Amino acid sequence: MVWYYDLLQTLSNGVFGTFVKEDRFILLLKGLGVSLELTFFAAIIGLGIGLLVAISRINRIPVVSSIADLYVTIIRGTPVIVQLIIIYFIIIKAIFPAIVTAMIAFGINSGAYVSEIIRAGILAVDRGQMEAARSLGLSYRQAMIKVIVPQAIKNILPALGNEFIVLLKETSVAGYIAIDDLTRAAMKIRNITYDPTTPLFFIAYLYLMMTICLSKMLTSYERRLREGD
């Protein structure tokens, strides 16, 4: 049990140095703000890209869909940190500020997963639905809009929620390109106080609370969907 008391001791000693002294909690608050902002805009960019990629892959638009395939393969097959650093240092560092670059990089990353989610959601709708709609005289587009997409959304939304939870956690590597997100704020405080335990446990707790909240919202939403059936 000794380690347990040690940990408590360290934490209570660390709280003052970590949060109160020199107003360091403001650093953390700002970091939290940056992480949320980054997640939010990356999610929007990812959704946009994912939608376009999914549409071009489902409709097998020549050339575009092979590029889309390649994009999904590369993004899913390489670590997000590597993608982030490549995009930052090699591609668009010169044009945008770091935070925008990060939004774009995480958006590009998320887009690949979102496109797969959307594609899977649409393909999961029974083939007979499209056939029934077409046999009534609806065009492919009309059938998609009126029949397929409304059913696919039920498959897609829960998986999208999960993707955003993953995204929130993944933005914690944004510090690699010098963005002061929540994780980097904690590391900075550690560098000043030489106490890694308190800030890291604290931000772990924050991440956990946020993801638990999102999961809870998701679960209750899914339950409502199921009741609708």
Partner 1 sequence: MIRVENLHKYFGDNHVLEGIHAHIKPGEVISVIGPSGSGKSTFLRCINLLEKPDEGEIYIKGVPLIENMKRIDALRQQVGMVFQQFNLFPHMSVMGNITMAPKMIKKISDADAKDLAMELLQKVNLSEKADAFPNRLSGGQKQRVAIARALAMHPEIMLFDEPTSALDPEMVGEVLEVIRNLATEGMTMVIVTHEMGFCKEVSDRVFYMDHAIIYEEGTPQQIFEHPQKKRTKIFLSKVL
Which residues would be at the binding site for partner 1 (CB under 8 A)?
126, 128-129, 131-139, 142, 146-147, 150-151, 229
| Under 8 Å between Cβ of 124 and 154 | no
| Closest CB 57 distance from partner 1, rounded Å | 22
**C-alpha to C-alpha distance for 35 and 39, rounded to whole angstroms:** 6
**C-alpha to C-alpha distance for 73 and 68, rounded to whole angstroms:** 9
Q: Toward partner 1, which CB reaches closer, 129 or 172?
A: 129
| Closest CB 136 distance from partner 1, rounded Å | 4
Q: Toward partner 1, which CB reaches closer, 214 or 225?
A: 225
- Exposure on the CB side of residue 102, measured as CA atoms within 13 A: 25
Q: Toward partner 1, which CB reaches closer, 44 or 132?
A: 132
* DSSP classification of residue 78: S
Q: Toward partner 1, which CB reaches closer, 23 or 229?
A: 229
57, 107, 61: which is closest to 83 by C-alpha? 107
Residue 206 Rama label (left phi>0; alpha psi -120 to 50; beta): alpha
| Closest CB 47 distance from partner 1, rounded Å | 22
The sign one gets for the Cα dihedral 132, 135, 137, 139 is: positive
84, 89, 47, 54: which is closest to 68 by C-alpha? 54
| Closest CB 73 distance from partner 1, rounded Å | 27
Q: Toward partner 1, which CB reaches closer, 124 or 204?
A: 124
Q: Toward partner 1, which CB reaches closer, 151 or 197?
A: 151
Residue 49 is encoded by which pair of tokens?
A: 């890209």
| Closest CB 64 distance from partner 1, rounded Å | 23
| Closest CB 140 distance from partner 1, rounded Å | 9
